[in-house]
């Protein structure tokens, strides 16, 4: 049984894999060793990988030491060709997501959207070459920025229903944030498909189902894409 740990900005995802199949998973608010040991209780862990967007602290070090884990970094071998110029600044979540996408859709050109704290957009081609992408604010950050940097705009959050055009401040903010980010994603997909008609578009991250619902057949949600990619990287290093 392989233990996969993905420490993100907002929460931590952990999973157990048997070969390529995810056996179980959980989202943790606190990634302490005690919580992880409770999750793996009753299972023999043979190998572990940790991906973190945070600076490695004593708690992460203790988890790594206990499980003799690989901590993903720019020196870790990966099963794709990484052509990003500054590999030491590339987020582990972005690298794992494109690795996961390549394993699920081999020999395809793929756009990967990770819709979480940030909206990252990454491209990996049919040769398994990761070329780079974009980083912009995610939905929650867009809402918070309007409230933080203005005196009168309220703090809102993701809503299921949204107008195309707002007719008051509340609905105008929702339209601007949610329709705006949908337009951004839709435009990127259209631009790529004008060059590569059969490119696969995947979305992962906490808001992935929002994009799948609103953009329908244009994009497919893969909520565990980063975990799948980390499992592939762990296998590659074994």
CB burial class (10 A; 0-12, 13-18, 19+) of residue 191? exposed
Strand pairing category for 118-124 and 129-137? antiparallel
What sign for the dihedral angle of Cα 205, 206, 209, 212?
Answer: negative
List the one residue out of 177, 182, 189 whose CA is nearest residue 213.
Answer: 182
Pick the catalytic residue from 6, 30, 88, 93: 93
Q: Tokens 């608010």 label which residue?
A: 29
Question: Phi and psi (nearest 5°) for 9?
Answer: -70, -40
Full 3-state SS string of 113-163: EEECCEEEEEEECCCCEEEEEEEEECHHHHHHHHHHCCCCCCCCCCCCCCC
CA nearest to 6, candidates 76, 60, 62:
60
Active site residue 93: yes
**C-beta neighbour count of 168 within 10 angstroms:** 8
Residue 49 bridge partners (DSSP): 4, 70
Q: Are 129 and 107 in contact (CB under 8 A)?
A: no
Q: Which residues are catalytic?
A: 93
């Amino acid at each position: 049984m392989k233990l996969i740990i993905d420490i993100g900005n907002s929460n931590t995802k952990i999973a157990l894999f048997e070969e390529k199949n995810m056996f179980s998973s959980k989202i943790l608010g606190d990634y302490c060793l005690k919580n992880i040991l409770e999750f793996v209780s009753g299972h023999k862990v043979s190998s572990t990988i940790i991906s973190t967007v945070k600076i490695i602290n004593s708690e992460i070090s203790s988890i790594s030491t206990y499980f003799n884990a690989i901590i993903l970094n720019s020196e870790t071998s990966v099963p794709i060709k990484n052509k990003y110029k500054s590999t030491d600044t590339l987020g582990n979540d972005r690298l794992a997501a494109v690795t996961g996408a390549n394993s699920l859709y081999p020999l395809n050109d793929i756009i990967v959207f990770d819709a979480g704290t940030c909206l990252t957009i990454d491209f990996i081609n049919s040769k398994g070459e990761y070329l780079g992408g974009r980083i912009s604010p995610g939905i929650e950050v867009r809402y918070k920025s309007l409230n933080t940097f203005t005196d009168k705009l309220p703090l809102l959050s993701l809503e299921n229903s949204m107008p195309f055009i707002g007719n008051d401040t509340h609905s105008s903010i929702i339209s601007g944030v949610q329709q705006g980010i949908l337009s951004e994603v839709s435009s990127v997909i259209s631009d790529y498909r004008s060059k590569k008609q059969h490119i696969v578009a995947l979305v992962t991250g906490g808001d992935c189902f929002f994009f799948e619902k609103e953009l329908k057949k244009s994009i497919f949600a893969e909520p565990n894409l980063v975990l799948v990619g980390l499992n592939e990287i762990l296998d590659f290093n074994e």
